[in-house]
Structure 1
Amino acid sequence: MSDDNNKPTLGRKPLGLKRTVETGQVQQQFSHGRKNTVVVEVKKKRVFGKPGEAAPAPQPEPVVEAPKPAAPAPVAPKPAAPAPRVSEVEQTLTRKEMQEKLLREAEEARLALAEEARRREEQQRQSASEEEKRRAEENRKAEEDARIAAEKAAAEDDKRASEAAKAPSAPAAEEPAKAEEAPAQRGTTERFPPARKFTPVEAPKRPEQPKPNRNRGGDDRRQGKLTVTRALDEGDGGARARSLAALKRAREKERRAHMGPAGPREKQVRDVVVPEAITVQELANRMAEKGADLVKALFKMGMMVTVNQTIDADTAELLVTEFGHNITRVSEADIDIDTATDVDAEDTLKVRPPVVTIMGHVDHGKTSLLDALRGANVQSGEAGGITQHIGSYQITTKDGHQITFLDTPGHEAFTEMRARGANVTDIVVLVVAADDGLMPQTIEAINHTKAAGVPMIVAINKIDKDGANPQKIRERLLEHEIIVEAMSGDVQDVEVSAKTGQGLEDLIEKISLQAELMELKANPDRDAEGTVIEAKLDKGRGAVATILVRRGTLKVGDIFVVGTESGRVRAMVNDQGKQVKQAGPSMPVEVLGLGGVPMAGDTLTVVENEARAREVASYRHEQATLKRTAMAPASLENMFSALADKAKIIEFPVLVKADVQGSVEAIVNALNKLSTDEIRVRVLHSGVGAITESDVTLASASSAPIIGFNVRPNAKAREAIERNKVRLKYFDVIYHLTEDIAKEMAGELGPEIIETVVGRAEIKEIFNAGKKDKAAGLLVTDGYIKKGIHARVTRDDVIVSKTIIASLRRFKDDVAEVRAGLECGVVLEGTNDIKPGDTLEVFDVEERARTL
């Protein structure tokens, strides 16, 4: 019996497992030429059968023979004689080998069937191709035969026509011939389809097989990312979907086309607001007209303009009238908010707390008095023990009434801050120390109070000190037309002690009485208006402004404009550090949410929307810019004269940064007061907030020191300061700042040179003294001449040279000094430009430290 692995398998090597020569090893062969040898356990096959029956004969292995076209004889079955031998072989096989053998045989059978199907398909394809070629050849031959027959028929027709032309009398005899030839010709052509008689026949193309759809989800599955455009495009076959407005326009166009030409549409008349200056395009937009039409109208008027050119209100009025619109003329000032014309009705007013400002000289106890009133210690937190910010506080009296206090600085640098305090206050409490009397800032506070026209209450403080004389203070006040009630006047006065608390109740009573007499009222049920008491730039909270509400109620979320800045109220903090949702009249609050740091004294006004706030802020910013440019020299002559004046004066540039806006103003004013005819301070930049990198860059470019008042630089600014070697000065007390800057400015000028003329002499003769020098014979006319003293030679009262007396002789002896009325000889150092008749003036030079 031959081995099963040697069976023919259609001409190719069979796949599957083969047994190796070594017993117990099987070699696996895979596709792509890979092989693997595994060790198997060889066991004898167990044969199961019914009792009493012989062992079943092994089934013959299925053999698939390749079809042979020549002799397809059937394969004879194997004889059953060698069955015992097969049984012996199979007994040596294991169960696993038998399974592998069966699998291998099944695989070979499958491959044989596949090969047979492939060959059958190839034969069918070849037969179809041969059939197509045969049909194409038959069609070509038929076409060729038809063409030849047609050519022959055409030649015969031509021949008959020529013969008929030669013999016109015999047409009747030729008719039967034509009739006889017609069937013959028709019979020749009827063998072929008449439609294919003269058309070339091409070989039929194979029908294209439809490409399989690779989309698992069906044909409607979209490829790639689905977007709105693709979704709209796919719905109408790739065309872009039309918008709803386009559809409406198309329908309206169709409707007008069906209804015929409509009559002229009625012109819409508009009310056009025209400011003092407006561009042509903006005017066209307000009129709802085309800009080109306005330009044409202006060209007809003789004005060559463009749509971006600005025209005045008169020209705009002509255009508006010509186009048939109504004009409403307004000025640019109407954009701004005028609070003076907005007066509340009398029935809407309600009683409000009084605003009391504490004024007086520095160190007279203003803040200490306020601390005693509100039970807090604010004075200890101020640098140097003096107040440098306007503090705003609100206290509640025993009877439940509220009083708002403003604590203004008493130092002379804060004059403007005190002036703002007098303008927003209802009552002024003038604090005068009983042991010190009236001082310059006290007198200044009296003048501010008179200018503001507000009532005053005199608080004579420090009466607990030894040497206190309140009566002397009252008498001194008479010099400034302040007559207190104790001296039959109308000004209330009270003796208090902030240290012991004496007289504080009397002071509160007098303030309440004065407020009651004034009948202070405001309308709380309206949009808020207030005044900026102080403003600063906080690192964590941004721009922060202390607002004193004058009327209305300021709420969180209100949109406002303050000065050249606008914003929205994000949060409000009262004087105790607590957040509040709203602030009524006479209540001081810190407001967060500003777009920038406003100026102290600016008015805060709540507006209806953000657009209005931005419009007003932009207008105010433009007006401020115009004001600054208007202060510049108006002509070239003025400009050059100003430059010439600047050239004579030494400039001391500085850069100022402070914690609040009021301190910035006070520092700038104090520095400007230090300027003299020889040197002046030039403030390159002043602002609120920490020192930034841009500040350092500006100071480095101008070689100017940076003055930091209660502020410090950030990390990047510190690196820039070290890199650029910029001088940085920190201060927390303003008069320390002014003293230091005054010393630096004096140092820039250098020591002061003082010349003192000590003698004069007249040059009589000139002598040679050595090879180069010349000696002058003098007659001392005034004072004396000393050796080594400074001298100047004048000729006709014009200075010729400045020099020093190098040698002084009388006769042949060197002397140290020659008095008036005597003659002497001198040698001048560094000059020989001397002539008889010149005057020699000698003087001493003294250097003194300069002070401003």
Structure 2
Amino acid sequence: MTDTKNTGDKTLTASPKTLTLKRPSEPGVVRQSFSHGRTNAVVVEKVKRRILTPAEVKAAAAPPPVAAAPRPVAPTPPAAPPRQEAAPAAAAAAAAAPQAAPRPSASAPAAAPSRPASGSPRPSSPGMVLRTLTNDEMGARAQALAGARVREAEDRKRAEIEARARIIREANEERERLAAEARKREEDARRAHEDETRRRAEAEAAKRLGEEAPAERSAPSPSSSAPPPRRSSPPPSLGAPSRRPSGPETEEPARAPVRRPGGGGPIRPVTPAKPERARVVPTKERSRLTITTATGAGGDERSRSVASYRRRVQRMSGKGSQEPKEKLAREVVVPETITVQELANRMSERAVDVVRLLMKQGVMKKINELIDADTAQLVAEELGHTVRRVAESDVEEGLFDAPDASEVLTTRPPVVTIMGHVDHGKTSLLDAIRHTTVVKGEAGGITQHIGAYQVTTPLGGKVTFIDTPGHAAFTAMRQRGARSTDIVVLVVAADDGVMPQTAEAINHARAAGVPIIVAINKIDKPDAKPERVRSELLQYEIQVESLGGETLEVEVSAKERLNLDKLLELIQLQAELLDLKANPDRPAEGVVIEAKLDRGRGPVATVLVQRGTLRQGDVIVAGAEWGRVRALVDDKGKAVSEAPPSMPVEILGFNGAPEAGDRLAVVENEARAREVAEYRQRQKREQAAARATVRVSGLEEMMSQIKTAGKKEFPLVIKGDVQGSVEAIVQALEKVGNDEVGVRVLLSGAGGVTESDVILAAASNAVVLGFNVRALKDARDAADRTGTEIRYYNIIYDLVDDIKSAMSGMLSPERREDFLGNAEIREIFAVSKVGKIAGCLVTEGVVQKGASVRLIRENVVIHEGKLATLKRFKDDVQEVRAGTECGMSFENYQDMRAGDVIECYRVTEVKRSL
């Protein structure tokens, strides 16, 4: 057991640092050693030694007050023979002698180290000047002294308590020692008495045999430890007791010889009764005083070690002997990428074994790093498991296009999409059929949204109509409408004929593989020419029935409501030919026609149910968004509880606005919906990152970098009322621009302009565009603080035109040169304070002062600059015409020679536009 002393200066010093006062005693560390390699560190108090004066030694030799306590009296030993009474008294005196010696106490004043008085100055070294203490330092010193006195009082009281406990403990140990010595004396007396009794018995037995035992044989002989051999006559040493030198515990009682009855025969020794041996209590040796014995933590009992307790638990639980268990072969599901730890968990193997196996294969991976599916399969098969490979896209299995049995299919209403060129009367025709006035509420008289409605025909059947915009920017809407429909009604104005968007609608219908019904509208106008429309449709391989073709056609007038019933009959007839059926008793599937972010209702999506029945409370997923259906609203604004096939409804309950065109499906629980949505969000992020980092190589990359190096960008933040309108605006603006300037959309989405949108635009010096939406109050305040411009539009034409004009101002102007005339230098004149002046003859056109000039020597341009001086004789003139001589000088150029030609021209800048 070792201890460590921490020594240090305990004197009070005056220094610029904080005044401190160290205690006279410092803590030390004593390390205790136990069995099984266990150790324990105990902090003890070490007092600094000092040299005691004779007076202090004399004072320390005096017994302390606590030593005057009565000492316990040892019990009186039992009576013993007179010659042994002196031994207990001597032993008691020897035991009491050490007790009389005084023991130094930790609380004794003599043991405290000498300390100078607080008021006496500390002697300083020669040449050292002490600094006078300030008031703060004096206060700190007083506080330190007061704290030191309190600690000394506490230490003194603690030392007195420990001294009392130590004295009581030593008294108890002394009492036990005296009791042990008394028991030893009793045992010695008893053994002596037994020896005396045995000797007397042996002597009497020898007398009865008629032999006198020699006097010297009365004492025990060490050489007679072996038993005597059997003889016919008694041996000379028969009466001598046998004793072994090992002590009284090994003595054997002597066997007295006994004569056989009748006086004849051999003599048999008589064995006396063996006395009972008293149990000797081992005396407790006085151990060394240590910290453990002083605190009572050592104890006589030996505590069980941790290793012993662990072995005992293993024996009790039967885990002591680990028998090799049979290894189980598992089917491990391995995705495209998996971490080492997850692979180990799925195989029920240790991760360190998997890492070791990877290292053998030359793959250095940590347990939290990803490995590909091929590596994971090799590891699993090496460990004896089977592998089932899966992909992340497997989460979408079973969402769409599950087959239905033919016996469960029922007839469903047809879905009809109205398509055509802008201002050909598509919405007016639909209003006439529905008896509504939707067209009056549209900005600019044009449709900028895609709408879905369901009407009842005069024959009693239902028809679902999808109205698409006709503007060139809404190509994506028309494409989605064509993919979601069963029949396309192509509306063509009789007074306008086939237009570009009409041809585009024809292409979309053909790509979707749906039949077309031609509705020739506006036949009520005086300049209507339906035959012109029929003939123009032939250019696009559409031959109507009136011309011998298969395409149905009808002449209608939305304004006069002419032939509307005939149009509905044709739609019903075409639907019967298509035999449209669906299974209503299955989870719903559909497509998102439009989506928006309503401030009061949250994300709202217009969905066309294609299969199954959508009910309130279903868990749905569309694109990267999911939710639970909270409410269903039909096209008339009425809440419904369910939506059968071919019915358009508005859904409330998405956690975010999905994108227009996303497919919708009902899933079994929220966990599945969340998993599908997270997978699609990851796919979108990865695709965006791939588009941002994709690079072409070689000459194409070099040319693209040259084109985009000096390209200016017009940053925009676009917010619209619905996703379809935002998509159309972004696509229209991306087409605006050239190699010098282009649009960069920082953010686009449905909903009002928020404060975060304004902050983003302010950070990038962008313009915020609001299409059919307004900014919130917080957004307006943020725009005023940052100076961000917010522009509002409700017609897509105006928005595109304004952005185009703003981008045109970013174009560098076009420079044009206007030729003025030529002059030939005939002579060079050197004029003081002016420099060289060229005497010229204007040979062509006119030369003007301040115009741009080129100096041409031998058909090579030597200098380009400005004409500084133009003189006619001695007068300055503004211009000189052909055939006239003049003098000219250039700005900052003097190297002119006879025979050079001066070309004079003027540069004009022309503003460019997109």
| Short-chain TM bin | 0.5 to 0.7
Match of 2:759 in 1: 697
1:808 & 1:569 partners in 2: Cα distance? 86
Alignment-derived partner of residue 680 in structure 2: 620
Shift of residue 385, structure 1, vs aligned partner: 1.2
AA of the residue aligned to 1:742: K
**Counterpart of 1:601?**
661
Asked if structure 1 preserves the Cα contact closer than 8 Å seen for 2:627 and 2:653, the reply is: yes
SS in 1 for 2:774: coil
- Cross-structure match for 1:496: 556
Q: 1:637 to 1:824 in 2, by over 3 A?
A: farther
The verdict on how the C-alpha distance between 1:623 and 1:784 changes in structure 2, with shifts beyond 3 A counting, is same
Task: Give the drift of 1:411.
Answer: 0.9
- 1:8 matched residue in structure 2: none
**Displacement of 1:699 after TM fit?**
1.1
Note the 1:564-603 alignment, pairs <5 A: 564-603=624-663
Task: Determine which of 848, 867, 870 is the counterpart of 1:808.
Answer: 870
**Normalized against structure 1, the TM-score is what?**
0.68
* Alpha-carbon contact 2:720-2:771 (below 8 Å) kept: yes
Cα separation, partners in 2 of 1:301 and 1:357, compared to 1, 3 Å: same
Indicate if the aligned counterparts of 1:336 and 1:619 stay in contact, CA closer than 8 A. no
Out of 285, 310, 318, the residue aligned to residue 257 of structure 1 is: 318
Pairwise CA distance, 1:394: 0.5
| 1:331 Cα deviation from its structure 2 partner | 2.7
* Amino acid of the structure 2 residue aligned with 1:277: T
| Partner residue of 1:755 out of 809, 817, 820 | 817
Q: Which residue is 2:721 aligned to?
A: 659
Contact 1:394/1:405 (<8 A) preserved: yes
Partners of 2:78 and 2:535 in 1: how far apart?
153
Residue 618 of structure 1 aligns to which amino acid in structure 2? E
Distance 1:269 1:426 in 2: 53
Choose the corresponding residue for 1:416, options 471, 476, 485: 476
Say if 2:594 and 2:723, in contact at 8 Å, map to a contact too. Answer: yes
Quick one: structure 1 residues 769 and 398, their matched pair in 2 at CA, closer, same or farther if it must change by over 3 Å? farther
Is the Cα contact below 8 Å between 1:256 and 1:262 reproduced in 2?
A: no
Q: How many Å separate the matches in 2 of 1:262 and 1:727?
A: 76
Q: Which amino acid aligns with 2:784?
A: E
Quick one: structure 1 residues 658 and 146, their matched pair in 2 at CA, closer, same or farther if it must change by over 3 Å? closer
Q: Cα 1:501–1:160, aligned 2, differ >3 Å: closer, same or farther? A: closer
Which residue is 1:391 aligned to? Answer: 451
Tell me the residue number matched to 1:732: 794
C-alpha distance in 1, partners of 2:386/2:599? Answer: 52
SS in 1 for 2:345: helix
Deviation, 1:815, is 5.1
**Does residue 1:312 correspond to 2:241, yes or no?**
no
| Equivalent residues in 2 for 1:19-34, closer than 5 Å | none
TM-score normalised to the size of structure 2?
A: 0.63
Distance 2:589 2:824 in 1: 81
1:157 shift after superposition: 2.1
Structure 1 counterpart SS, 2:352: helix
CA contact 1:438–1:473 (8 Å) conserved in 2: yes
- Specify the alignment match of 2:608 in structure 1: 548
1:153-190 deviations in whole A, cap 9, x for unaligned?
999625999xxxxxxxxx99xx9xxxxxxxxxxxxxxx
Counterpart for residue 119 of structure 1: none
1:636 positional shift: 10
- Figure out how many residues of one structure are paired with residues of the other and give that number: 627
The verdict on how the C-alpha distance between 1:530 and 1:830 changes in structure 2, with shifts beyond 3 A counting, is: farther
Give deviations 1:566-607, integer Å, cap 9, x for gaps. 222222111111112221211111111212222211111222
What is the Cα deviation at residue 764 of structure 1?
Answer: 5.3
1:298 aligns with 2:358: yes
For 1:172-251, what aligned pairs fall within 5 Å after superposition?
A: none
Contact in 1 for aligned 2:417/2:489 (Cα 8 Å): yes
Relative distance call for 1:254 and 1:612 in structure 2 (3 A) is: farther
CA contact (8 A) 2:631 2:651 kept: yes
Shift of residue 297 of structure 1?
A: 2.1
What's 2:776 paired with? 714
Per the alignment, in what secondary structure is the counterpart of residue 316 of structure 1? helix
| Secondary structure, counterpart of 1:632 in structure 2 | helix
For residue 178 of structure 2, what is the aligned residue in structure 1?
none
1:741-790, Cα deviation, whole Å (9 max, x unpaired): 11111222265443323334455554345524543344545543233433
Residue aligning to 2:853:
791
Query: Secondary structure of the equivalent of 2:692?
Result: coil
Paired residue type of 1:257? G
Measured against aligned partners, the alpha-carbon deviations of 1:338-368 in whole angstroms (never above 9, x if no partner) come to 7676333333322111111111111111111
| Map of 2:807 onto structure 1 | 745
- Which among 833, 844, 851 is matched to residue 771 of structure 1? 833
Whether the 8 Å contact between 2:420 and 2:470 is mirrored in structure 1 is: yes
Question: Which residue number in structure 1 is paired with residue 742 of structure 2?
Answer: 680
Instruction: Give me the whole-angstrom Cα distance separating, in 2, the residues matched to 1:792 and 1:308.
Output: 72
Deviation at 1:556, TM superposition (A): 1.6
Which secondary structure state, in structure 2, belongs to the residue aligned with residue 791 of structure 1? strand
- Structure 2 CA distance for partners of 1:362 and 1:823, relative to 1, 3 Å: same
Gaps of 5+ in 2: 1-68, 91-191, 197-312
> Is 1:327 matched up with 2:416?
no
> Paired residue for 1:29?
none
Deviations 1:94-128 (A, max 9, x none): xxxxxxxxxxxxxxxxxxxxxxxxxxxxxxxxxxx
Q: Residue 450 in 1 paired to residue 510 in 2?
A: yes
**Match of 2:810, SS?**
helix
1:515 maps to which residue? 575
| Amino acid in the other structure paired with 1:294 | V
1:469 aligns with 2:529: yes
1:289 matches 2:349 = yes
- Higher mean displacement: 647-656 or 629-638: 629-638
* Distance in 1, Cα, partners of 2:680 & 2:899: 71
670, 687, 691: which is aligned to 1:610? 670
Distance in 2 (alpha carbons) for counterparts of 1:342 and 1:747: 55
Cα distance in 1 for residues equivalent to 2:71 and 2:689: 104
Cα distance between partner residues in 2 of 1:728 and 1:142: 102
Q: Is the 8 A contact 2:415 2:465 kept in 1?
A: yes
One-letter amino acid matched to 1:455: P
For 1:458, give the aligned amino acid. V
* Counterpart contact for 2:484–2:591, Cα < 8 Å: yes
What is the CA distance between 1:381 and its match in structure 2? 1.3
- CA, structure 1 residues 720+642, in 2 after alignment: closer, same or farther (shift >3 Å)? farther
2:327 aligned counterpart, secondary structure: coil
Question: Which residue type is aligned with residue 537 of structure 2?
Answer: L
Q: Distance in 2 between matches of 1:567 and 1:544?
A: 11
Distance 1:264 1:424, change over 3 A: same
1:380-399: CA deviations, max 9, x gaps? 11111111110110101122
Q: Note the C-alpha offset of 1:256.
A: 5.5
1:511 shift after superposition: 0.8
Give distance in 2, aligned partners of 1:591 and 1:392. 13
Aligned to 1:669: 731
Q: Residue 418 of structure 1 contacts residue 445 of structure 1 at CA under 8 Å; is this kept in 2?
A: yes
For residue 393 of structure 2, give the secondary structure of its aligned residue in structure 1: helix
Q: Residues of 2 paired with 1:790 and 1:666: CA distance?
A: 49
Deviation of 1:526 after TM superposition, in Å, equals: 1.6
2:756 maps to a residue whose letter is S
C-alpha distance in 2, partners of 1:795/1:583? 87
> What's the counterpart of residue 484 of structure 1?
544
| Deviation string, structure 1 residues 435-488 (Cα, Å, up to 9, x no partner) | 222222222222222222211111111111121111111112112222111111
| Counterpart contact for 1:337–1:616, Cα < 8 Å | no
Indicate the residue corresponding to 2:904 in structure 1. 842
Identical-residue share of aligned pairs (%): 55
Q: Please tell me whether the aligned partners of residues 400 and 589 of structure 2 are also in contact (alpha carbons under 8 angstroms).
A: no
1:226-285 deviations in whole A, cap 9, x for unaligned?
A: xxxxxxxxxxxxxxxxxxxxxxxxxx9898639x96965443332211122211111122
1:333 deviates by 3.1
Paired letter, 2:343: L
Change (3 A) 1:262 1:293: closer
What residue identity is the alignment partner of 2:564? L
SS of alignment partner, residue 296 of structure 1 = helix
